[in-house]
Amino acid sequence: MAPSHVLRCCQRGLAWIPVIFIALVVCWSYYAYVVELCVFTVLSTTEQLVYLTFFHLSFIMFVWSYWKTIFTNPANPSKEFCLPKAEKERYEKEERPESQQEILWRAASNLPLYTRTGSGAIRYCDRCQVIKPDRCHHCSACDTCVLKMDHHCPW
């Protein structure tokens, strides 16, 4: 395996540490609430029932949302935002930024783009080789362009 490949695998493995930490905290809180509070401390059955029902309703919604958040892949820009093969080759060969921008302007003429860089240029990701749609940013942790990206959340 190439060293970069090994590094990538290690990074992926380490990325699970915060998630495992949260899962352990959740398990511990579940035990503290359900067993220690509801079973051993609260003695009235009606109170226990009310406490447990509300707790489990919120708990299920929390676990479901957390699960969806962890296992939903980030959305990437669609195919229309990739440069056609010929244009991509021209873009890579071109050294002057103005000519590169011309290629991008032509390719983006039919795309719904409203956001430009500070200098008025079309936003392009050299790593993913796509024109970045509005609100799309390259996530260095996921190493891909993510739509509507706000920040990479390790939790």
Residues near Zn ion, by CB under 5 A: 125, 127-128, 138-139, 141-142, 145, 152
Cα angle at 18 between 33 and 66, to 5 degrees? 60
Q: Which is nearer to Zn ion, 23 or 142 (CB)?
A: 142
Nearer to Zn ion, 34 or 142 (CB): 142
Q: Which is nearer to Zn ion, 36 or 134 (CB)?
A: 134
The total of other beta-carbon atoms located within 10 Å of residue 124's CB is 20
Contact 121, 56 (CB under 8 A): no
Of 66, 73, 78, 82, residue with least CA distance to 124: 82
Identified catalytic residue from 9, 82, 125, 153: 153
Q: Note if 153 is an active site residue.
A: yes
Residue 135 three-state SS: coil
Q: For the chain, list the strands marked E by DSSP.
A: 124-125, 130-131, 137-139, 144-146
3-state secondary structure at position 151: coil
**At how many degrees (to 10) do helices 97-107 and 85-93 cross?**
170
Q: In the complex, what is the shortest distance from the CB of residue 74 to Zn ion, in angstroms, rounded to a whole number?
A: 6
CB 42 to Zn ion: min, Å: 42
> Judged by CB, which is closer to Zn ion: 40, or 71?
71
> Catalytic amino acids?
153
